[in-house]
Amino acid sequence: MEELDDPFRAPETAGDGYGLVARHRHADGTLQLFYSDGVFGISVFEQRGRLDARRLPAGGRVDEVAGDEAHRYPVPGGEVLVWEGDELVFTCVGDAPIEDLRTFAEDLAREPEPGILTSLARAVLAPFRWG
């Protein structure tokens, strides 16, 4: 896992008092942002692609994030919330109450800046665009 430095952008705060603590890129290219409010922690993973709900584990609940369909799963010690936006799949995992996780996810989904991976893809592909 490698720590990301500028120019990778991520919201400094999200949800109800969660601040950005760390940004990482995993060996498979997945980006991870870790936020904390001092008590609870939330990691958000960002992967390029489309969400195929048929490939998600059974037993989840359908939820919503910023008007988009999301899927919620209880896990030992927390919750997982998965949704798609702007050709990216987001997975939030945290030990925070589900209300905090939803508020956090809503803030990320409304972030005016494009996602980290979208920004990187645009920068890399820009020289190859037509017209």
**Does the pTM exceed 0.85?**
no
- Count Cβ atoms within 10 A of the Cβ of residue 12 and give its class: 0-12 exposed, 13-18 middle, 19 or more buried: exposed
Are 82 and 71 a contacting pair, CB within 8 Å?
yes
For the segment 51-105, what is each residue's pLDDT rounded down to a tens digit? Answer: 988 888 888 999 999 888 999 999 898 999 999 987 888 999 999 998 999 999 9
Which secondary structure element, helix H or strand E, spans residue 63, and what is its range?
strand 61-65
Least confident of 2-6, 72-76, 96-100, 119-123: 119-123
Are 80 and 115 a contacting pair, CB within 8 Å?
no
3-state secondary structure of 125: helix
Q: Return the sign of the alpha-carbon dihedral for residues 7, 85, 22, 57.
A: negative
Domain holding 56, by residue range, is 2-128
- CATH no. for residue 37? 3.30.200.100
Residue with tokens 């920068």: 123
Cα 53 to the center of its chain, rounded Å: 16
Number of domains within the chain: 1
| CA–CA gap between residue 107 and residue 13 (Å, rounded) | 9
